[in-house]
């Protein structure tokens, strides 16, 4: 559930496939890729049913086969691509404390760098992501995260970030610092911080994939609202 206003990329009620594992981000990413490949195989198997919906699935089928056959996806850091993003003002945004990428920037970037596959964009600026992401030891102003960006299968179709992942904070002082940097109250998260002080605590990493986003991408829809099974949308009235 989310409280913001719905748009072409965001729903108020949605399905989110999430998983958490003991290990580092580098250990997690192959599992995420394997999951995306499993989804791709499922869609290919459903091709006869999808074609009954009068959807031209030929381009999607090729994109899915590319994913199925891939050994791994391309990976770039935010620092590596940022000079390229700066050449197009609609591709990035800058605040007093951080840099970010727009959805149009995600689409342009994955088309230019990812080839025929989704691509990982890693190591975002620390203040643009959730406070529980682990700061990069080599640059504490960035974090150990990776978003999986998809290029639209058809022109105008759904594209951009569909899965997000990260290595979780494992240091209580570091996580308190991240909370403070982002102006978040630490009071509700005392238990979360204290977990890091437990003697048997181990580093974990996790990911979340937007199920409706993947479906919209695979079917070539532009708006995520076109693939929800039952609409519950803030400030939008439905027929009685």
Total structural domains within the chain: 1
Per-residue pLDDT at 238 = 62
Per-residue pLDDT at 217 = 94
Residue 130: give the domain boundaries: 16-168+203-226
- Whether residue 239 is contained in a domain is answered as no
- Whether residue 181 is contained in a domain is answered as no
- Whether residue 57 is contained in a domain is answered as yes
| CATH value at residue 150 | 3.30.930.10
- Whether residue 197 is contained in a domain is answered as no
Q: Tens place of pLDDT for every residue, the chain, 240 residues?
A: 888 888 899 888 889 999 999 999 999 999 999 999 999 999 999 988 887 776 778 888 999 999 999 999 999 999 999 998 888 778 888 876 689 999 999 999 999 888 899 999 999 999 999 999 999 999 999 999 999 999 999 888 999 999 999 999 999 999 999 999 989 899 999 999 999 999 999 999 999 999 999 999 999 899 999 998 877 888 877 655
Q: In whole angstroms, give the CA distance from residue 171 to residue 220.
A: 42
Q: In whole angstroms, give the CA distance from residue 177 to residue 180.
A: 5
- Whether residue 74 is contained in a domain is answered as yes
- Whether residue 7 is contained in a domain is answered as no
Per-residue pLDDT at 90 = 80
- Whether residue 151 is contained in a domain is answered as yes
- Whether residue 99 is contained in a domain is answered as yes
């Amino acid at each position: 559930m989310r409280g913001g206003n719905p748009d072409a990329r965001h729903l108020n009620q949605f399905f989110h496939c999430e998983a958490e594992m003991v290990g580092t981000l580098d250990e997690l990413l192959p599992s995420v890729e394997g999951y995306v490949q499993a989804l791709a195989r499922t869609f290919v198997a459903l091709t006869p049913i999808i074609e009954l919906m009068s959807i031209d699935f030929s381009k999607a089928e090729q994109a899915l086969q590319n994913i199925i056959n891939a050994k791994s996806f391309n990976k770039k850091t935010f620092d590596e691509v940022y000079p390229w993003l700066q050449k197009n003002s609609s591709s990035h945004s800058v605040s007093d404390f951080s840099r970010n990428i727009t959805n149009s920037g995600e689409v342009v970037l994955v088309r230019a760098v990812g080839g025929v596959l989704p691509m990982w964009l890693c190591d975002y600026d620390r203040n643009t992501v959730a406070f529980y992401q682990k700061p990069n030891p080599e640059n504490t102003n960035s974090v150990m995260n990776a978003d999986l960006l998809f290029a639209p299968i058809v022109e105008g179709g759904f594209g951009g970030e569909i899965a997000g992942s990260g290595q979780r904070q494992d240091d209580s002082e570091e996580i308190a610092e991240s909370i403070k940097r982002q102006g978040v109250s630490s009071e509700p998260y005392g238990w979360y911080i204290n977990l890091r002080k437990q003697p048997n605590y181990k580093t974990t990493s996790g990911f979340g994939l937007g199920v409706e986003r993947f479906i919209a991408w695979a079917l070539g829809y532009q708006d995520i609202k076109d693939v929800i099974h039952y609409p519950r949308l803030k400030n939008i009235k439905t027929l009685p």
